[in-house]
Structure 1
């Protein structure tokens, strides 16, 4: 995995991000979303994208639980409103 600095002082993040829009907007089961997210972590992805409107809030609810096994400073979770 290749990494880049996010801005001037922000941490390095993976060049590939995992987004949650399609997963939650299309109704993929939560266990599949968790498995995909864990596979992304295993592959070295450290940049994840979500928003409060994805899946009517389901994406942010899941992201409240998904990274619980990972150190907080080992990934960046980007969200928008």
Structure 2
């Protein structure tokens, strides 16, 4: 006898659309607050971003040397 179909698990895309899509959110207030708290960056995340993140501004040429491998846009 064939196995009955399982209920579909919501994909990450569907969950994200529930958060940012048009119309009312399908998340409860409690779930939204938990998601907000869980997404706070850790001290390690902030240190990594400070170390690795490069901000690029259009038509801006820095007055100091760029890191190796990075060239200014022309």
Q: TM-score, normalised by structure 2?
A: 0.25
Instruction: Work out which of the two has the higher radius of gyration on C-alpha atoms and give 1 or 2.
Output: 2
User: Which one has the bigger strand percentage?
Assistant: 1
Question: Higher RCO, 1 or 2 (CA under 8 Å, sep at least 6)?
Answer: 1
Q: TM-score, normalised by structure 1?
A: 0.23
